[in-house]
Amino acid sequence: MIKKIIIGAGFSAAISKILTGNKTEIIGSINHQNLKDQNYFRRKTLEVNKLMSKRAFSYGTLKFNLKNGKMHDRLTLGGNANIWGGMIDAKKIPERHLRFLKKKNINFEKLSFRKTGTISNNKNIMQIHSREGLILKTEHLPIKIKNGYILNFFTKKKKLFINIKNSKKTKLQTLQVKKLFLCVGSVQLLDLLYRSNLLKENDIIEFSELYDHFKWRFTFSGYEKNITTVRYHFCRALGHFFGIQYFARYLKLFSFVPLCVDQQFYSKKNSYKLTINNGTVTEVENQKFGTKKFGNSIKYFNMKINNIEINKYLNRINSNIIGFGMSFINKKGPGPISNDILMDIVKKLRKIKFKIKY
């Protein structure tokens, strides 16, 4: 049976499913049970977990040896959305999209120290909430994700196929796919392309990142001019540090502390080049690195392979492979990245004449 399939379990996969509705099936890694065998190994250096958030691990087939940068992999339901701040620039999303998303349990809360524990000098930046008032996670949305892990994909006589591992006990499942929407994170994307023989030894992989910076400030301090800033009150910054995805009452007990943390977004763009040697991802030698490690923001984008943007790279393989998420966008300005991801999904669905039912 030919299907339209979304691969992923994070924010971009969830938004893609909501926008495409019953026309697509979604498969993602909900847990790691189907990957605990000799073919996949755990990569602790890529894991990012917080004390009070759901733990996630990194499993894959590529090794990573990075010294001047960081990459992250949260192979679980929700992905990075389980630890993110949920910020979005609502001005960059048309009103009809906002109305549609609200019907799907996605709300947009104005920032305030009272409700979200955050404020900003950009009044259009909001926090994405579930209807219950929690920072949005995939599990809050009215979608069902089949637990499975994509091993590889390939074309045969111009037809597109994927191999899926559903669980530890079931055999490999091969599906013919009409449209393949890849919504996997950057690390898993590298793994997938390598297993599909589409990423080879000595290929050059590049990512970009917009510089951001955290500063301690007093709550009554002014903002630095011409710098987009999200200000976290001390009590909310504390919660975010520990992975608490709502502004809990016990956090508000620290509201008397006149300190906050400013997250400042800049237009300065950094690049990071990687290559593969004997199944290990390493940094390209002789590239210049700044004072901060690449990847601290966890928001790296515009993936290129041998200087070809990933969207074009996949299109040359098969025009029915379409990518959604950070790796597949080229963010232009400072600020949250979720609005860029959302509008990129809408744009690409329109391009393939995939009608969204609002």
For the stretch 143-201, pLDDT in tens is 999 999 999 999 998 899 999 988 656 678 899 999 999 999 999 999 999 999 999 99
Specify the DSSP class assigned to residue 136. P
Name the nearest CA neighbour of 281 among 168, 191, 358, 192. Answer: 191
Task: Write the single-letter amino acid at 315.
Answer: N
Q: How many residues does the chain have?
A: 358
Give the amino acid at 276.
I
Distance between CA atoms of 248 and 235, rounded to whole angstroms? 9
Q: Where do we find the tokens 């237009």?
A: 267
Q: DSSP letters along 184-235, please?
A: --HHHHHHHHHHTT-S-TT-EEEEEEEEEEEEEEETTPPPPTT-EEEEEEHH
The band of 35, judged by pLDDT with boundaries at 50, 70 and 90, is confident
Dist CA 135 CA 138 (whole Å): 10
In the chain, the percentage of residues whose pLDDT exceeds 90 is 75
Q: Distance of CA 94 to CAs 16, 163, 233, 307, Å?
A: 17, 37, 30, 33
Q: Is residue 356 situated within a structural domain?
A: no
The per-residue pLDDT of the chain, averaged, comes to 92
Name the band, by pLDDT with cuts 50, 70 and 90, for residue 19: very high
> Over 80: is that where the pLDDT of 74 sits?
yes
What's residue 44's pLDDT?
94
What is the token pair recorded at 27? 């498969």
Total-model pTM = 0.94
- Tell me if 155 is assigned to some domain: yes
Which pLDDT score, from 0 to 100, does residue 247 have? 92
Q: What is the mean pLDDT of residues 17-31?
A: 91
Q: How confident is the model at residue 55 (pLDDT cuts 50, 70, 90)?
A: confident
358 located within any domain? no
The two three-digit tokens of residue 89, written as one number: 């620039």
The runs of H, that is alpha helices, within 55-126 are: 95-103
Phi-psi group of 72: left, alpha or beta (phi > 0 → left; psi -120 to 50 → alpha; rest → beta): beta
DSSP for 162-190, please give it. Answer: EEEE--SSSPPEEEEEEEEEE---HHHHH
Helix (H, G, I), strand (E, B), or coil: what is residue 323?
strand
Contact of 183 with 10, CB cutoff 8 Å: yes
What lies within 8 Å, CB to CB, of 153 at 6+ separation is 160, 161, 162, 163, 177, 180, 192, 196, 321
Asked whether residue 69 carries a pLDDT value surpassing 70, the answer given is yes
- Residue 221 is predicted with a pLDDT of 96
Q: Please say if the pLDDT value at position 60 is more than 90.
A: yes
pLDDT tens, residue by residue, 204-260: 999 999 989 999 999 999 999 999 999 999 999 999 999 998 899 999 999 999 999
The pLDDT score that the predictor gives to residue 77 is 87
357 found inside a domain: no
- Whether 126 maps to a domain, the answer reads yes
- Quote the CA–CA distance of 126 and 137 in Å, as a whole number: 16
Summarize pLDDT for 111-143 with one digit per residue, the tens: 999 999 999 999 999 999 998 889 998 989 989
Report if residue 68 sits inside a domain.
yes
Among 169, 170, 109, smallest CA distance to 134 is for 109
Q: Is residue 242 part of a domain?
A: yes
Domain containing residue 15: 3-351
**Helix ranges, 94-184 (H):** 95-103
| pLDDT mean over 305-317 | 97
Count of domains observed in the chain: 1
d(CA 290, CA 330): 21
Q: What's the token pair of residue 26?
A: 């979604």
Each residue's pLDDT tens digit, 251-296 = 999 999 999 999 999 998 889 999 999 999 999 988 887 777 899 8
- Return the structure tokens found at 318: 């098969």
Within-domain flag for 213: yes
Q: Give pLDDT, residue 325.
A: 96
The pLDDT value given to residue 186: 96
